[in-house]
Amino acid sequence: MKPQKLRRILAGGLGLLLVVLLLFLWNGTAGNPISALIATRNITAYVKETYPGANFSVENAHYNFKTGGYSCFVTSPISEDTAFSIDYGGGKIWDRYESEVGNRFSTYRRLDGELDGLVEKIVQEQFPHKVNLVIGTLEAGEDMSNDLTLDMPFDRYHLPLPVEVTLWMDTEDISYDQAARLLLELDGIFQREKLAVARYSIRLSDVVEYDKNGNPVYDHQREEVNIYDFPAARLAAENLPQVLEEHRIQWEKEADAWKEESPENRE
């Protein structure tokens, strides 16, 4: 066999091998269209049989790299909170209706998103400090079916679950005095807005320089004050900075104790 012909054969073989390898990698991260089609058909048939007359819409299946199977998102035309996923793999189906709709997680997800947007808007418009992160969260439980109802409206003045606000800031004053001032100012804003906040978490960090691309440049160990899950009712304490410090110490002790417990003893 001539060398040129041999080289062409080898090159073609390597090209084919590369294509096969790429397809294998793609299949491992995005699945393949044939399997997705099979999953969509099986899940659609399951929905029609399990929920007759519900007129649910079933989206095309997408690959779930965590499970190695496929998932379809199912929605209702008359209920925005009746939205859940169904997984398919190995010929088996896992229906997430009870965990996502039955216990009202889909309702929680919608209300929590609206709250977060409201908190961010209030802070951006009324809190006159540079904020790195602000999050508004509803405190969720494992089963919220007693607290939430499907498709309930978002009422900022009568929220069904306690509200927690998390705030991260860079500041030159890393102290409990500064944390107290900022929390009182922030809580005052929410009180004027009639948004009841149950707990606050705040992190104060050193001001850092940024490069031309906007990335932080750390030239030393950053100092921080981290306070988690502080009850808003305790903001009225006379010596608030000291109360904040004591809360942080106690919180860290309880967190360390929880970590040291064996999984069998954790509830």
* Domains observed in the chain: 31-101 (3.10.450), 105-261 (no CATH)
The CA-atom distances, in angstroms, between 120 and each of 29, 169, 264 are 35, 14, 39
Q: From CA 187, how far away is CA 200, in angstroms rounded?
A: 9
With a pLDDT cut of 70, the percent of the chain lying above it is 81
Whose CA is closest to 107, among 61, 72, 60, 140? 140
| Of 20-24, 63-67, 218-222, 232-236, the least confident | 20-24
Ramachandran quadrant class, 152 (left: phi over 0; alpha: psi -120 to 50; beta: rest):
beta
Whose CA is closest to 240, among 176, 187, 191, 151? 176
| Mean pLDDT for the chain overall | 85
Helix (H) or strand (E) holding 89: strand 83-89
* b/e code 166-181 from CB counts within 10 Å (16+ = b): bbbbbbeebebebbbe
Q: What residues does 209 pair with on adjacent strands? A: 217
Tens of pLDDT, residue by residue over 168-206, are 998 888 999 999 999 999 999 999 999 999 999 999 988
Nearby residues of 51 by Cβ (< 8 Å), 6 or more positions away: none
On whether the CB atoms of residues 139 and 161 are closer than 8 A, the answer is: yes
262 pLDDT more than 50: yes
153 pLDDT more than 90: yes
Tens of pLDDT, residue by residue over 96-127, are 999 999 999 999 999 999 999 999 999 999 99
Hey, what are 173's tokens?
């004053």
